Chain A
């Protein structure tokens, strides 16, 4: 157990050996941000197909009924991103901790879970070059606009078996976070023109609620559905404030477990992101995945296809993801290490993003 804990801490605490360039998806810069995937590594390794049935993923709260004892789970995702925009390209890297979940029995048949997951990523830094005529002379300059931070979804969820085959769940979501935003202009003629830099701390607040059900149809078949509504994301900085509508999400899925060593799942989600202002689009996403092998060492894979909610133009950018991973159980199932790798390709508005993401998740059941 002690060894497992040390391994968990080492994997999660591993920071990049050098400070490398990184940022969230370029598509989110002109919108509210990059919607993050708060699923556990297990669900993510199946491209999200198992997310509605995974008690440690903040998707369908009814799945929390599967938590039989105190359980804690944390995950880390490190993305290596190639961005191609016209003739330019860049290699970027991001490290995120998408989710931390703690759950367990509360009383009777009620199971509860709480934790945080990344909701919107708003970390980026862009540089643009241009010039302006000042006092009769052309003055070239470099603008740098940066944001570091994001919005986190703090969730409290509860679920119980309404009947032996039907579980229902619900949760409250507090959306909170902040970003440190900077805007800097530097003139090439730095002796004549001093730089100008503005810094602001933007705070975000919002609320959400969700409800879901999980039905055991029989013969190893389970179906799940959820509805989530987030209100408005209010932001406030020094001298600026506003609010943006957040989407209503609805989704469903099916999980079929024909044997102890095979599980297949599929899921679909619809989100009304177009309410979130300029450059926002409604999205639809589907995914299919499988978990194969011994329960102590399952192999997972999946594929998903969908759209990115923010991007220029009338049509939302597309996204294709393929994922795979393994799970290791140790200490009699008290510790689980999940690893995965995900390949994403996003396209839209002349921009192409190709992302490799390494996933590590630690689950502890003391």
Chain B
């Protein structure tokens, strides 16, 4: 009997082990197809945004990586900088005598700029002396007198960029040099920046021993129509740099040239008029940076019982953003990790290439076109994990592949959820639950 039982178990095991196969076939529906059909629904959900708020103050002018300088009908913005001090005495070799600085041969001022100024006609950069007391509380009005009467130099960037390119063996780079003024410009295509180097004399930038060579400088731009650019700031490691070519007294016998580089101690930009106060619209960008929070309530029938194949957030601008074409920017819809209002932490990608944390769309200057942001993966994630907060923070960015805020003066405002005609909406393409088992 035991042997018989073993025999049967062996047979059963053999049967179980061999059950494996794969299936596929051509067909002609509906004659040779199972009942039911995979349906697709495309719908615009206009009442899914149940709450929204706009907040300002995420990044101030002195906190960003760029100094925004512009002369637009809507805004005038100027950069102001305070440089570091320099050593006021020199020691030569092992001599312990401190030799004072007795004069300045020249000064070179280096500015790093956004490289997209070429389309602007007669684009000029103006350098001013401003008080050395500037700080984050300095306003446009505080320095307006300096910009009225303390012009140091004006330089035509158009003219400089029109010069033939020549190789500079010292810099080991191709530059465009103005042999009269000594100014030159170099385009760094690798880092996508324009490096402007201005030569100044001691009359334009006097050395003041009491200030240890500290300078206060301001920059504004003009063009035939509108002008807008961005300078590197000390936060991004590309702030203004001053190279002093000094004369040092050597034992009361003669003077010898020495150079010192002074970086930026503090920089910011001031603008007028200040941004309008937040209202019911959804402000994004501008300065100080604004963000808008949208809270969603997806219909349970879609969130729980359908699969979303495409989702688009539809936003209607309240008015066209103003600026120059180069000011076009990205509006990013970031997934909120935890809905803490203005301080909500925002999601990061789970892996390289993950788009479940953000959707983006370009916004062109002067356009009132509806902004459509793809948020498919975000919505699919919400459907897969219903514990996640269904909220999106709208941010501005000047880079398509990264969220870089505070790099544009341009602000866009979208119609809010209280606007019944043009409220934010979701356009969803989804597949309702398939009904199995129905021949």
Contact = CB atoms under 8 A, between A and B. Distances in A.
A145 B34 contact: yes
Interface in A197-215: 197-198, 200, 202
Given A19-B20, A29-B27, A147-B34, 11 more contacts: A21-B24, A26-B25, A29-B32, A29-B33, A72-B4, A97-B18, A134-B310, A183-B38, A185-B38, A194-B377, A366-B4
Contacts of A217: none
Interface string A272-284: 0000011100000
A147 B23 CA distance: 9
Contacts of B435: 239-240
B35 A9 contact: no
Contact of B23 (A22, A143, A277): A22
Given A29-B27, A83-B25, A181-B436, A74 B15 contact: yes
Shortest beta-carbon contacts, A-B, top 10: A312-B31, A196-B431, A366-B4, A196-B307, A125-B23, A126-B27, A12-B14, A183-B434, A13-B14, A23-B23
A298 interface: no
22 contacts: A12-B11, A12-B18, A13-B17, A21-B22, A29-B27, A83-B26, A100-B15, A124-B25, A125-B23, A126-B25, A126-B34, A128-B29, A145-B38, A192-B374, A198-B433, A198-B436, A200-B434, A202-B436, A240-B437, A241-B437, A242-B438, A312-B31
Interface in A224-252: 235, 237, 239-242, 244
B320 interface: no
B25 A8 contact: no
Interface in B407-439: 427, 429-431, 433-439
B42 interface: yes
Interface string B40-68: 10100000000000000000000000000
Interface stretch (A57-65, A85-93, A157-165, A336-344): A85-93
A135 B30 contact: no
A202 B310 CA distance: 29
A270 interface: no
Given A26-B27, A146-B23, A196-B431, A97 B15 contact: yes
A112 B31 CA distance: 43
Interface residues of A, number: 81
Contact of B380 (A146, A181, A192, A194): A194
Contacts of B15: 12, 74, 76, 97, 100
Max count, chain B CB within 10 A of own CB: residue among A83, A94, A145: A145
A88 B427 CA distance: 39
A146 to B, nearest CB: 6
A195 interface: yes
B12 interface: yes
B117 interface: no
A197 to B, nearest CB: 7
B376 interface: yes
A14 interface: yes
B221 interface: no
Contact of A277 (B24, B433, B439): B439
A193 B429 contact: yes
Nearest to A32: B439
Given A125-B24, A126-B25, A30 B439 contact: yes
Contact of B25 (A72, A76, A90, A202): A90
Nearest to A239: B433
A202 B376 CA distance: 30
B419 to A, nearest CB: 23
A195 B209 CA distance: 71
A9 B26 CA distance: 34
Contacts of B4: 70, 72, 364, 366
B21 interface: yes
Nearest to A145: B34
Contacts of B38: 143, 145, 183, 185, 196
A120 to B, nearest CB: 11
Interface in B360-397: 374, 376-377, 380
